[in-house]
Amino acid sequence: MKHTRTTPKIFKRAKELRCDMTPAELKLHARLRAHRMADVHFRPQHAIGNYIVDFCAPRRKLIVELDGSQHLEQEEYDAERTGFLKSKGYKVLRFWNNAVMNDIDSVLNVIWDTLNEQNDVRQ
C-alpha cells in the first residue's frame, strides 16, 4: 500500500514508535483514543512528510505534540517542523510531558477548547 503523505521508511518508523510510546504519550493516548474527545479520532505517532507527530486528528487538522527536556535543545528544529506542519494546514498544540503527567485535565481542556474553536469557525 502506497502512502502519499510520507515515505515508506517514515511510515515504518511511525509504526515502530506506536509500540514504544513514552509514559506521557500513553497517558494522553488513554484519554484521546476511541473518539473520547468530542468524537474526534486522534492517531498516535502519525507520519506527515518527513515528520512523525505524537498525535494527529487528520479530519480536524489538529496535531498534539508532547515535549520532553530534549526539546529545550532543539528549538530551531521544532520551529522548522511546526512551520512545515502549519504549511500543510495543521494547527499544532505543544505540551510539556510533565504537564500531561501532573495536570492532564488542563491539557485536555486546551485540546477541548481548540476543537470547539475549530467548530465555531466551521459554522
Q: Using one digit for the tens of pLDDT, what is the confidence trace for 74-113?
A: 788 888 999 999 999 999 999 999 999 999 999 999 999 9
**pLDDT higher than 70, residue 71:** no
Of 113, 107, 120, 119, nearest to 27 by C-alpha is: 107
**pLDDT higher than 70, residue 3:** no
Q: Which fold would CATH assign to domain 8-122? A: Endonuclease; Chain A (3.40.960)
Q: What is residue 70's predicted lDDT score, i.e. its pLDDT? A: 64
Q: Write out pLDDT tens, residues 5-60.
A: 777 888 787 788 878 899 999 999 999 987 777 789 999 999 999 999 999 999 99
Quote the DSSP letter at residue 78: H
Q: What is residue 22's predicted lDDT score, i.e. its pLDDT? A: 92
Residue-range domain boundaries for the chain: 8-122
**pLDDT higher than 70, residue 72:** no
Of 80, 96, 82, 20, nearest to 53 by C-alpha is: 82
